[in-house]
Amino acid sequence: MADKRKRATAENDSDEDDNGEQPMEAPRKQAQAALAFRKRLKPDNAILATVRKIADSAKSYKPQTQSLADLNLPNACKEVVDLSCASVMAEIEKTIINIARSILGGNGFGYSVPSRSSANQLYVQELDRIVLKDKASFRPFANMASVRKTTITTRILQLVHQLCKKQIHVTKRDLFYTDVKLFQEQGQSDSVLDDVSCMLGCTRSSLNVVASEKGVVVGRLVFVEDGDRIDCTKMGVGGKAIPPNIDKVKDMESDALFILLVEKDAAFMRLAEDRFYNRFPCVIITAKGQPDVATRLFLKKMKTDLKLPVLGLVDSDPYGLKILSVYMSGSKNMSYDSSNLTTPDIKWLGVRPSDLNKYKIPEQCRLPMTDQDIKTGKDLLEEDFIKKDPNWHKELEVMVKTKEKAEIQALSSFGFQYLSEVYLPMKLQERDWI
């Protein structure tokens, strides 16, 4: 028994990892890789000179002036516009008067609701965004399949009319609690709210119903919110919550050179705590995951008012790329409002699939893609907004082929501050974005 224990001990002592390296060899090589990139960094002034060049070129940015009507598309499309409270009330009253006439004429009533299904979506390459085709379905009250949804639609119209009359805003959660028995789930009232926005031809923010605060911003940005002057360099690690009423945000000022769009809250907090925006003047913004309407509107406003380039930092997985595409080309769920919600020409800074080998991300930090991940990646390869950019398409092909993904936090394997001290400065130095 003693001999067996000795042999086992000797075998354990001579064990190598899967790569044929001694147990301490992998961490040593990992540290050497991190040090190699750190040594390649130029002084901050040299990196800033590079960034100033792209910032200067972005100053010539002009908002998209083409409209759907200018393109003569084969399909008729529907878009919404910002309406005043008085205009929204007038549209609702017109709808209800038509319903009353229909009932008095013995025809019952219903609503013609634009279809927001995937089949009714169209990607317009000239505008680089998804739009809604002008196809509608009838939602009758005198039908068991649609009676409840028609009732919800009528109730939402009533509530929105009240909000516009009083000129006050409520959250989607507040709206749900006005009639819980009817709505049953917030998802149902939220969905009908989008239907109502399409029906009336106005943006969802015109209905005076907003989402709860989610996104945050920090860095070299000053703006006025409802009369109060906000300095985003003095908002601490947590940043300034993006106001749900973007129409109350005025007079944006900034000496930033770029906008850094971050997918996750963890990366945002790291950059905020390290005061990355002081070392490299920028504005850092995140929606903490899936983009919400307020964050998308705020980003669009910054891009338009400040004329700054936008660089995106997301996880190296299909969902990170989908999040980036929602900011840039819009979501299918809200394609009817894509002209107001999309920010064109966002550059994919990282973390890209090619970065995993370039920056020698350790194997233990690379996660195997699930079957659903691979399916999502392959579906994205077929999307027009991916096909239009060969570089994006190539990166996604690498991801699907290697079946590997990684989070932004994988960079922390080289040190907690590697993201702000090495990775991002190196990306800026090499102008490594697509």
How far is residue 145 from each of residues 79, 120, 187, 223, measured CA to CA in Å? 28, 21, 18, 49
**What is the Cα–Cα distance from 83 to 164, expressed in whole angstroms?**
11
H helix or E strand, kind and range, residue 124: strand 121-124
H helix or E strand, kind and range, residue 137: strand 136-140
Sign of the four-CA dihedral 35, 40, 45, 51: negative
For the chain, first and last CA: distance in Å? 62
Say if strands 282-286 and 258-262 run parallel, antiparallel, or are unpaired: parallel
Structure tokens, 313: 């930092």
Provide the CA 139 distance to its chain's centre, in angstroms.
32
**What is the Cα–Cα distance from 248 to 232, expressed in whole angstroms?**
16
- Tell me the helix, strand and coil percentages in the chain, rounded to 5: 50, 15, 30
Sign of the four-CA dihedral 164, 170, 172, 173: negative
80, 201 in Cβ contact below 8 A?
yes
3-class secondary-structure state, position 36: helix
H helix or E strand, kind and range, residue 267: helix 265-273
**Of 177, 319, 336, 418, which one is the catalytic site residue?**
177
Mutual orientation of helices 390-402 and 318-329 as an angle, nearest 10°?
160
Q: How many residues does the chain have?
A: 434
Q: Which amino acid is at 273?
A: E
How far is residue 28 from each of residues 17, 31, 76, 259, 422, measured CA to CA in Å? 13, 5, 61, 35, 18
**What is the Cα–Cα distance from 330 to 344, expressed in whole angstroms?**
10
Q: In the annotation, is 111 catalytic?
A: no
**What is the Cα–Cα distance from 280 to 420, expressed in whole angstroms?**
10
429, 47 in Cβ contact below 8 A?
yes
Residues 6 or more apart whose CB falls under 8 angstroms from that of 122 comprise: 73, 75, 77, 130, 131, 132, 133
Residues 6 or more apart whose CB falls under 8 angstroms from that of 363 comprise: 18, 19
- State the DSSP string of 206-223: GGTEEPPP--EEEES-EE
Positions marked catalytic: 177
